[in-house]
A and B are shown apart, each in its own frame.
Chain A
Amino acid sequence: MELNSKIPAGPLSEKWTKYKTEQKLVNPANKRKLDIIVIGTGLAGASAAASFGEMGFNVKAFCIQDSPRRAHSIAAQGGINAAKNYPNDGDSVQRLFNDTIKGGDYRAREANVYRLAEVSNSIIDQCVAQGVPFARDYSGLLANRSFGGAQVSRTFYAKGQTGQQLLLGAYGALSKEVEKGTVKMYARREMLDVVVVDGRARGVIVRNLVTGELERYAAHAVVIASGGYGRVFFLSTNAMSSNGSAIWQCYKKGACMANPCFTQIHPTCIPIHGDYQSKLTLMSESLRNDGRIWVPEDAEKARLLREGKIKATDIPEEERDYYLERRYPSFGNLVPRDVASRAAKERCDAGYGVNNTGRAVYLDFKEAIQRLGRQAVEEKYGNLFEMYERIVDENPYVTPMMIYPAVHYTMGGLWVDYELQTTVKGLFAAGEANFSDHGANRLGASALMQGLSDGYFVLPYTMQNYLADQINVPHISTDLKEFDEAENAVRQKITKILSINGDTTVDMIHRRLGHIMWEKIGMSRTEQSLKEAIEEIKALRAEFWQRVKVPNVDGMNTELEKALRVADFLEMGELVARDALMRNESCGGHFRAEYQTPDGEAKRDDEHYAFVAAYEFQGVDNEPILHKEELKFENVELKQRNYK
């Protein structure tokens, strides 16, 4: 297999225009003859499905939830980036491109990132036209705020609910097409396999979660927009049904998985409080605009805080260590996520952590409340403060918040070329499900940008280019033997899981997998920890297939749903570890303790590792084949990221 990224020739700023000028088109009459399947209805999936429908294709859209409006994009809080430069603070497409490439620690493709920056402005225009109620100032014009990894204010927001509002915009567009009949919506369906016929993706096998029946759907092309695989860590900020199974089935059918070890640990989440806990809650990065992060300067004071003998408010100003402002004076509390997360871990490992667990740092709004007044702080962050108080039972207007890093996003995903097509023809991946734009670390407010960019402004073009030579292919039949084979394989897997009838629940095994992932493949990784993790995951996988207990009931079976996902996570976790072990450098969210600068920063090795690692499946118990896509940087100079 050879990786061909299909990046158009020519200067960076002209590549996308050149592509659009030269791509093939499908005329309106032919569009009606072509079917497209879209898996997932988050920002990427809903915007793609709606746009395809508007263009005249027949779309079948699938979501795991009871309604497309509940996809996990809805939980994104802080905002969406765009290079509008409305605040007149020096922003431009080129600068958004530079920041994203640098933020990703030079492990993303230049051409894709530039295109993302280029279409960012159209996204804001589109959303405003849809009636997305972005924050505005008193002039009636759009307001902006700043986010980590940038020195300009380019983030558009709708209170702390930006993801919700953008998703409802896309859901509206999708609903419009459902009403028109161009999109057929299938809710409460989970994709369990992709069907490949003569080397092209031609359909999917899904489980109807209500009836428990397996169903077949066929199309000329399939788009995977199923999100990330962060729940391989069990505890994460992802929703309970977020999973990696759709992309994993694609991987097993020949699509390469790229950079699986690039996982993002978000610095500002509510700390863990117990082992029954099912998920972690994010506190938006926007809080770092006004909140100041600190721990006590004196380890003894930290101990007293942990033991509950003193309170945070007992520590006087001069005894507080604002460690991000100290280490990174120019970016301060707004350093990128990976840097902020590691710095918190470093302080806690050194014995300065707070909370009864010692795994927390303070995020303090005292100074902001003094400067802006409580009302202004409430207006900006009110809903986040409320959310915090509900969970922790402490008032953050009075006592500083406690935060700790948690798994949040996966930069890795299905390998795609410039057209967002995987290594299987006709199989596309969009949004968090692909690997393409964020390199080794995603900047805040860039996930929403990428999801909508892929769905509204990239796939509608590249999909036409692919389908242009498919106009003579009649509707695909679901009676083909490839559909029989795929459905039988899924059925056998389900039968096997139901027949084990062991003595441990799916969650118990998932929790143990999460523990291995977090301790050995988490914020800091070593050769030894990774080798141990690979062996431990293999053993746990074997245990799953002997000991799991899933009730054998007809119809709705939520334990079976979880078991199918965890079975895949138990394979995926191993690939994450293998990739991390292969990459003998530190970059972005991938921190190998052996590779760091004297002052503890990530040390990249551009000479040997400036490539995308794409893995080709060779069987569950065999090592995958590693393919390398060299990353060529012609427009930015590779340097050590410096936020000091």
Chain B
Amino acid sequence: MNIKLKIWRQRNASSEGQFVEYQLNDVPAEASFLEMLDILNEQLVLKGEDPVTFDHDCREGICGACGLYINGHPHGRFRNTTTCQLHMRKFKDGDTITVEPWRSEAFPIIKDLMVDRTALDKIIQAGGYISVHTGGVPDANTIPVNKHDADLAMDAASCIGCGACVAACKNGSAMLFVGAKVSQFALLPQGQIESADRVQKMVARMDELGFGGCSNTYACQAECPKGISVTNIARMNRQFLAAKITEPL
């Protein structure tokens, strides 16, 4: 198939960017979207041009490295799909495809389609864990966990930290990302001890880092490649309110 690409090119964080058009012919329909970009880059390199820079790693939808805004949607328009799992058979011959980086104040552009998502790591550092040290823990079966809760915790824990929720949100909010981590631990008995501190610290860090607030448009849920539910945001809000009243920091 033959396609036309409109790709955002930007030399570095401080330079100005622009869309550049590329015509790409004979793209195999079985190729993934990233493999299509590989084909383009191979041609650019041979022509002596700088190839398009983008983040990618596992290419099987789990590492969360890849993330492109494709035709106005983070990871493209298909549900529960990361960019690396999007295949060219989903496009038509002759299509024009617009490719942009995540756009959010909290994610500065590094180059072309690659952004800096360190802010997500910083939110986790604020308290997105259970503070046990290595060793000296009880036997794994000492505390039974209701299967229903364990399954919900697993669903919340499936977040891959790609940042699509932030990119999709008109406010650039990271509520789905934070809500998922807070929920995972809120649903498990092991997470209870620190729950009040955790939610307050993580929310405070999120605010400090320039992420916006939530105005309940659910765009994050619609675009999340792992199908993380906004119920997690509601759970976080409830935890947050309770903690603010009963155990303020």
Contacts and interface: CB of A to CB of B under 8 A. Distances in A.
Given A74-B62, A128-B190, A391 B87 contact: yes
B180 to A, nearest CB: 11
A65 B62 contact: no
A276 B121 contact: no
Contacts of A66: 55, 65, 116-118
Nearest to B86: A390
B145 interface: yes
B121 A69 contact: yes
Contact of A172 (B12, B57, B114, B130): B130
A161 B227 CA distance: 15
Nearest to A507: B42
Interface in A207-249: 210, 239-241
A125 interface: yes
Interface stretch (B134-142, B212-220, B236-244): B134-142
B170 interface: no
Contacts of B49: 551
Interface in A121-152: 122, 124-131, 133-142
A240 B121 contact: no
B64 A69 contact: yes
Interface string B68-101: 0000000000001100010101000000000000
Nearest to A50: B134
Given A70-B161, A125-B139, A278-B35, 5 more contacts: A75-B58, A164-B158, A179-B125, A274-B28, A551-B45
B63 A72 contact: yes
A507 B35 CA distance: 12
A280 B61 CA distance: 13
Given A172-B129, A507-B38, A549-B46, A65 B57 contact: yes
Interface in A159-178: 159, 161, 164-165, 168, 171-173, 175-176, 178
30 contacts: A65-B57, A69-B121, A70-B57, A70-B58, A70-B63, A125-B138, A128-B137, A128-B140, A129-B137, A129-B138, A133-B184, A138-B147, A140-B147, A142-B140, A161-B158, A164-B158, A173-B134, A175-B121, A175-B129, A178-B125, A274-B28, A276-B28, A277-B31, A281-B59, A387-B61, A391-B87, A393-B87, A505-B45, A507-B42, A551-B45
Contacts of A279: 59-60
Given A165-B157, A390-B87, A122 B150 contact: no
A70 B134 contact: no
A454 to B, nearest CB: 12
Contact of A133 (B45, B87, B138, B188): B188
Task: Choose among B50, B114, B126, B157 the residue with the greatest number of A CB atoms under 10 Å from its CB.
Answer: B157
A74 B58 contact: yes
Given A142-B141, A276-B38, A159 B121 contact: no
Interface in B35-61: 35, 38-39, 42, 45-46, 48-51, 53, 55-61
A241 B56 CA distance: 9
Contacts of A61: none
Contacts of A125: 137-140
Given A67-B121, A75-B63, A239 B57 contact: yes
B146 interface: yes
Given A67-B118, A175-B128, A555-B12, A72 B191 contact: no
B174 interface: no
Nearest to B112: A556
Interface in B188-242: 188, 190-191
Contacts of A390: 81, 85, 87
B5 interface: no
Contacts of A573: none
Contacts of A128: 137, 140, 143, 190
Interface in B1-57: 12, 28, 30-32, 34-35, 38-39, 42, 45-46, 48-51, 53, 55-57
B63 A131 contact: no
Interface string A242-275: 0000000000000000000000000000000110
Contact of A281 (B60, B140, B185): B60
B85 to A, nearest CB: 5
A135 B134 CA distance: 22
B42 A505 contact: yes
A100 interface: no
A418 interface: no
Contacts of A611: none
B42 to A, nearest CB: 5
Nearest to A132: B157
A72 B38 contact: no
A407 B235 CA distance: 43
Contact of B154 (A67, A159, A456): A159
Contacts of B12: 555-556
A52 to B, nearest CB: 10
A590 to B, nearest CB: 27
